[in-house]
Structures are given as C-alpha cells and as structure tokens.
Amino acid sequence: MVGLEEGLFPLARAIEEPKELEEERRLFYVGATRAKKNLSISMAVLRNRFGEMESIPSRFIAELPPALVEKVDLRSMNCRDRFADFSPGLRHKSTKPLPDEPYYEYEEEEILRAGRIVQHKTFGRGKVVKVEGSGQGLTLEIYFTGIGVKKVLARYAKLKVVG
C-alpha cells in the first residue's frame, strides 16, 4: 500500500468528518487484510502538495500492532539494494532520522514558521501549526502523527527543518 500519509490516506476531507474517517479506516483494514503473507506500506519522505513540501505519516500506521511492524528507512540503501530482499512483516518508512544526520541548528527564527515540516529526535516528523514569541522564548506547536500536538520551546527542541 502506497501513500499512507495524512491528507492522502486518510483523505484530507475525511479527517474533519468522523464518519468519513471511519470509512477510510475500514478501507485501510480491507486493503491490509487482503495481503496473503506480507504487506508493504510506504510513504514519501517529502511530497509537494499545493505548493508546500510535507509528508506526515498516516494515523493508520500508528494504529497497527507494534509487534507486527518492521520499520525500514529506504533512504539509507542504494537503489539496487532497495528491492533485493523483502523479509516478512509489515513495513513502512521510518519517521526517525538516520543516525548520522545532524540536527539543524537554526539562527533565523523565520525558518520556523507555520507549515514547516520538522524532525524531532523523540516524536519523529511533524508539521509546525503555530509559532509564538521570539528569541529565547520562541514556542512552537507541532502536530506529530500518532502523538498529536506538542508545544515545545524551540531552543530546547533540537529540531531539524525538513521542508
């Protein structure tokens, strides 16, 4: 199953309507249970949608039993290795950064504006939804899939700006 990102699956219009969201969840369940042995789930690291670069993992991924999920980040493999071996289990791209990726140290506050996609060491990838204050008191509200909205002080968050 491809495109498991908020706004694609489930569709953006379904997120606001509980009945629509349940229908999307049912469709996900039907698709997932059709797999005979293995199910591969994927998402884009970044996707250009309506002029914004974003990609937040679908909430449906977080609802899967953790024991059945094997997270694989294909960015660390070269193209030939990506398709060489698929072991059993559910798979999707990890929302965690590669270990050798440094976290971005920002000096310009305007980089951290609403709509930016950021990476947090603990919460994974998220979208900045609100920015308040400035300087040492710069506070961000960030939506993380499967976690929800977290309010963080930018100076302590060690965020990497992804998009």
**Residues 82, 85: Cα–Cα separation, whole Å:** 7
In this prediction, residue 26 carries a pLDDT of 92
Q: Which pLDDT belongs to residue 105? A: 47
- Between CA 15 and CA 10 the distance in angstroms is 7
Q: Which domains does the chain have, with CATH numbers?
A: 12-92 (3.30.160.800), 109-161 (2.40.10.170)
Please report the pLDDT score of residue 144 as a whole number: 87
Higher confidence at residue 110 or residue 115? Answer: 115
Task: Decide: pTM greater than 0.85.
Answer: no
**Predicted local confidence at residue 127, as pLDDT:** 92
130 contacts 111 by C-beta, under 8 angstroms: no
One-letter identity of residue 113: R
Residue 123 DSSP symbol: T
Mean predicted confidence (pLDDT) in 88-106: 41
Instruction: Assess whether pLDDT exceeds 70 at residue 97.
Output: no
pLDDT for residue 23 is more than 80: yes
- For 122-149, the pLDDT digits (tens) are 888 899 999 988 877 888 999 988 788 8
Secondary structure of 28-90 in HEC code, one letter for each residue: HHHHHHCCCCCCECCCCCCEEECCEEECCECHHHHCCCHHHEEECCHHHCCHHHHCCCCCCCE
State the virtual CA torsion across 19, 25, 30, 36 in degrees, nearest 10: -170
**Mean pLDDT of the region 7-32:** 88
- At 32-81, the pLDDT tens digits run 888 888 888 888 877 776 666 777 888 888 888 888 888 777 665 554 45
